[in-house]
């Protein structure tokens, strides 16, 4: 539930709390978009500053949508020409290694590499929707709000991403 | 289920049993399953969120001016309106002029802010500013008034014919048409006209007709006659006498024929009951014929 602070986003505590909750996801989303860390950070910074500047006229419950609207608008004239490089989270993939045969492990590692490359080859629309779900764990309706599209559109993009990924990976089998 | 959202539904565990079984039997299922599993293990490159926040904070304070507390914009507006209203009312208070008058047929007794008394004769009007009265005792008079000024700074009475400055207490001023009469009953009275300045002591009176000074005898009375309902005329023009009677009795008098040139000296009673006596006195003095025409009195000179 939103923090009903009378000062709203203008209150230091509210603003920093809001930052703690939303900044990383925003920055990651922007990275998935541009493939450029600096650009992702810059746009994130600008969006939060804009939020601060308008803190008096943005109620806390509208802050997130304001943030993403500003970020998306700022992104319109930025070209994503970098490859999106994603690493595997070390802690998540450790468990299996000891149980399996070396061949199996190798095959899996190869698959993972193919997946990384395939993701980089997705369209921006498919990539951002897909990664917001897979990496950030966002539900389809949340993604819909962030990208300002319908849930159906999110489902189409993710379905499209899965199909495209499979084609890319199987093509290199 | 639509084909274009099928995979998304599967990914979200939204397929029903039948659909799921069917999907799992497809050859491509293995790949999809692996995609599902490994994509969840990916991460975005690390980000230093703390330093990002610091950068934002720095910018925050640079743009601090817009962080104005949401005091309604109506507050300064209302304050401005109140301030202007206050200024206006003070201005109006300072400049406010009080008017007092006595209608025809009557008298009016009134007090000025410092308890100075003014008795207005019929058909007379005074005006003055109440603001700062004690420092600035100034009255404008049209007609006739008897003043009993309270002790204090100089008291000025301004008429169209001249200004009377009082450093005493009791005086009468009559300013009608082109005739100015000032009588001093107590204290000292300075009369300033266009051509002349005169200082009066008790009992002394001065009159100007058309700017020319008239000789007036000493006044034995302690108050003007009209206060006691007696119109006292000294070397008065016929017209002024008629005008006074009109005011005192609230009647309209029309004079026909040649205008008498002789000046009038006498005391005419002015109580309502004295109307006929008053008219008689004038008619006799000037040998006039009397006729009543509707609500007008017509006097004809021979």
Residues B135 and B234 in one domain: no
The pLDDT value given to residue A7: 67
β-pairing, B162-166 vs B155-159, is: antiparallel
pLDDT score recorded for residue A3: 46
Closest chain A residue to B8 measured between Cα atoms?
A159
Q: Does position A96 have pLDDT exceeding 80, yes or no?
A: no
- Is the complex ipTM higher than 0.85? yes
**Closest in A16, A115, A160 to B39, CB measured:** A115
Q: Select the residue of B11, B31, B59 nearest A49 (Cβ to Cβ).
A: B59
Give the strand pairing for B137-148 and B155-159: parallel
Give the nearest partner residue to B35 out of A27, A56, A165, using CB atoms: A165
Same domain membership, residue B218 and residue B149: yes
Residue B78 lies in a domain: no
CATH number at residue B199: 2.60.120.1440
**Do B250 and B201 share a domain, yes or no?**
no
Q: Are B265 and B233 in contact (CB under 8 A)?
A: yes
Range of the domain at B233: 229-302
Cβ atoms of B129 and B95 within 8 Å: the answer is yes
Determine whether A141 is exposed, middle or buried from the number of CB atoms within 10 Å of its CB (0-12, 13-18, 19+). Answer: exposed
CA-closest candidate to residue B255, choices B294, B298, B290, B302: B298
Looking at the structure, tell me whether residues B284 and B202 fall in a common domain.
no
What confidence tens digit (pLDDT) does each residue in B65-77 have? 454 566 777 888 8
Say if the Cβ atoms of B67 and A56 lie within 8 Å. yes
B218 and B235 in a single domain? The answer is no
- If asked whether residues B218 and B270 sit together in one domain, one would say no
| Cβ contact A89–B60 (<8 Å) | no
Residue A23 contacts B where some CB pair is shorter than 8 Å: yes
- A-contacting residues of B 66-125, CB under 8 Å? 66-70
Can you read off the two tokens belonging to residue A151?
Answer: 């849930």
B27 touches chain A (CB under 8 A): no
Question: Do B252 and B268 fall into the same domain?
Answer: yes
Q: How far apart are the first and last CA of chain B?
A: 127
Assess whether B266 and B246 both reside in one domain. yes
Six token digits for residue B296: 């007008």
Which of B178, B199, B224 marks a domain boundary?
A: B224
Whether residue A31 has pLDDT greater than 50: yes
Higher pLDDT, B117 or A76: B117
The answer to whether residue B62 sits within a structural domain is no
More confident residue, B161 or A97: B161
Rounded Cα distance between B286 and B257, Å, is 12
Among A residues 30-69, those touching chain B with beta carbons less than 8 Å apart = 31-32, 37, 40-41, 44-45, 48-49, 52-56
Q: How confident is the model at residue A92 (pLDDT cuts 50, 70, 90)?
A: low
Three-class secondary structure of residue B241 per DSSP: helix
Same domain for B290 and B241:
yes
Q: Do B41 and A155 touch (CB under 8 A)?
A: no
Which residues in chain B have Cβ-Cβ distances shorter than 8 Å to A31?
A: 44-45, 47
Q: How many domains does chain B have?
A: 3
Residue B160 within a domain: yes
Q: Which two tokens stand for residue B214?
A: 């008239």
With CA atoms as reference, the chain B residue closest to A133 would be B40
Residue of B11, B28, B68 lying closest to A166 (CB–CB): B28
Which residues does chain A have within 8 Å of residue B68's beta carbon, measured at their own beta carbons?
56
- What proportions of chain A, in percent to the nearest 5, are helix, strand and coil? 75, 0, 25
Question: DSSP assignment of A131-170, as one string?
Answer: HHHHTS---HHHHHHHHTS-HHHHHHHHHHHHHHHHHHHH
Q: Domain boundary residue among B208, B224, B240?
A: B224
Specify if B30 maps to a domain. Answer: yes
Residue in B closest to A12 by C-alpha: B57
The predicted model scores a pTM of: 0.50
Q: What is the mean pLDDT of residues A27-50?
A: 93
User: Within a domain: residue B123?
Assistant: yes
Please, which residues have CB within 8 angstroms of residue A165's CB and are 6 or more apart in sequence?
A115, A118, A119, A122, B35
Contacts of B31 in chain A (CB under 8 A): 166, 169-170
Claim to verify: residue B244 and residue B295 sit in the same structural domain: yes
Element (H, E) at B112: none
- Which of B26, B44, B51 should we substitute to test contact with A (largest number of A Cβ atoms within 10 Å)? B44
Q: What is A90-171's CATH number, 1.10.150.240, 3.40.50.10170, 1.10.10.10, 1.10.490.10?
A: 1.10.10.10
Tokens 């420092």, residue located: B135
| Residue B141 resides in a domain | yes
Task: Output the pLDDT for position B64.
Answer: 52
CB contact under 8 Å between A165 and B60, yes or no, is: no
Q: Shortest Cα distance from B18 to chain A (angstroms)? A: 19
User: Which residue, of B224, B242, B262, is where some domain finishes?
Assistant: B224
Cβ contact, residue pair A140, B12, below 8 Å: yes
Look-up: residue for tokens 């929707």? Answer: A129
Q: Which of B167, B124, B120, B122 is closest to B146 using CA atoms?
A: B120
How distant is the Cα of B72 from the closest Cα of chain A, in angstroms? 12
- Nearest-Cα distance to chain A for B15, in Å, is 13
pLDDT of A81 reads: 64
Note whether B103 and B192 are same-domain residues. yes
Residue B10: closest CA among chain A residues belongs to which residue? A159
Gap between the Cα atoms of A153 and A156, Å rounded: 5
Range of weakest confidence among A32-36, A103-107, B50-54, B106-110: A103-107
Which positions in chain B touch A28 (Cβ < 8 Å)?
A: 44, 47
Report residues of chain B scoring pLDDT below 50: 65, 67
Given an 8 Å threshold on Cβ–Cβ distance, is B56 in contact with A28? no
Contact A155 B9 (CB under 8 A): yes
- Please say whether the beta carbons of B125 and B142 come within 8 A: yes
From start to end of B187-263, where are the E strands? 189-193, 197-200, 205-209, 212-214, 230-236, 252-256
Mean pLDDT of chain A, nearest integer: 87
My answer on whether B257 and B218 are in the same domain is no
- Average pLDDT rounded to a whole number, residues A103-120: 90
Q: Where are the domains of chain A?
A: 8-75, 90-171
Instruction: Please choose, from the candidates A78, A91, A83, A70, the residue with its C-alpha nearest in 3D space to the C-alpha of residue A127.
Output: A83
Tokens of A94: 């450790």
> Whole-angstrom Cα distance, residue B257 to residue A146?
106
Give the H/E segment covering residue B127. strand B124-129
């Amino acid at each position: 539930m939103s923090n009903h602070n009378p000062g709203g986003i203008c209150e230091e505590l509210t603003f920093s709390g809001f930052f703690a909750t939303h900044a990383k996801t925003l920055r990651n989303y922007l990275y998935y978009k541009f493939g450029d860390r600096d650009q992702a950070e810059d746009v994130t910074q600008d969006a939060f500053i804009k939020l601060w500047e308008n803190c008096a006229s943005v109620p806390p419950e509208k802050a997130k949508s304001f943030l993403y609207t500003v970020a998306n608008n700022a992104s319109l004239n930025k070209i994503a020409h970098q490859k999106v490089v994603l690493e595997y989270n070390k802690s998540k993939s450790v468990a299996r290694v000891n149980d399996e045969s070396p061949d199996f492990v190798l095959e899996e590692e190869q698959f993972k590499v193919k997946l990384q490359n395939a993701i980089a080859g997705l369209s921006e629309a498919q990539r951002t929707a897909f990664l917001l779900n897979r990496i950030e764990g966002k539900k389809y309706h949340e993604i819909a709000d962030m990208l300002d599209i319908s849930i159906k559109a999110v489902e189409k993009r993710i379905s499209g991403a899965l199909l495209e990924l499979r084609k890319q990976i199987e093509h290199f089998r | 289920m639509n084909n274009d959202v099928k995979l998304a539904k599967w990914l979200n565990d939204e397929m029903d049993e039948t659909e799921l079984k069917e999907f799992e039997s497809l050859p491509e299922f293995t790949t999809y399953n692996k995609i599902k599993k490994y994509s969840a293990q990916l991460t975005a490159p690390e980000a230093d969120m703390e330093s990002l926040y610091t950068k934002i904070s720095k910018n925050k304070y640079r743009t601090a001016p817009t962080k104005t507390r949401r005091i309604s914009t109506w507050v300064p507006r209302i304050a401005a309106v109140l301030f202007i209203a206050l200024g206006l009312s003070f201005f109006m208070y300072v400049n406010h002029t009080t008017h007092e008058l006595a209608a025809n047929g009557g008298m009016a007794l009134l007090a000025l802010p410092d308890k100075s008394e003014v008795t207005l004769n019929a058909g007379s009007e005074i005006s003055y500013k109440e603001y700062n009265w004690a420092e600035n005792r100034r009255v404008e008079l049209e007609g006739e008034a008897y003043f009993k000024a309270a002790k204090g700074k100089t008291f000025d009475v301004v008429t169209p014919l001249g200004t009377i400055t009082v450093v005493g207490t009791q005086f009468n001023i009559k300013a009608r048409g082109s005739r100015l009469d000032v009588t001093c009953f107590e204290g000292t009275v300075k009369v300033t006209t266009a051509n002349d300045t005169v200082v009066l002591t008790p009992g002394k009176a001065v009159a100007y007709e058309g700017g020319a000074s008239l000789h007036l005898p000493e006044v034995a009375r302690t108050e003007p006659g009209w206060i006691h309902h007696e119109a006292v005329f000294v070397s008065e023009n016929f017209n002024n006498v008629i005008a006074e009677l009109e005011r005192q009795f609230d009647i309209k008098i029309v004079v026909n024929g040649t205008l008498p040139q002789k000046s009038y000296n006498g005391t005419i009673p002015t109580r309502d009951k004295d109307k006929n006596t008053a008219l008689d006195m004038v008619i006799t003095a000037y040998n006039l014929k009397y006729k009543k025409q509707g609500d007008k009195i017509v006097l004809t000179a021979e």
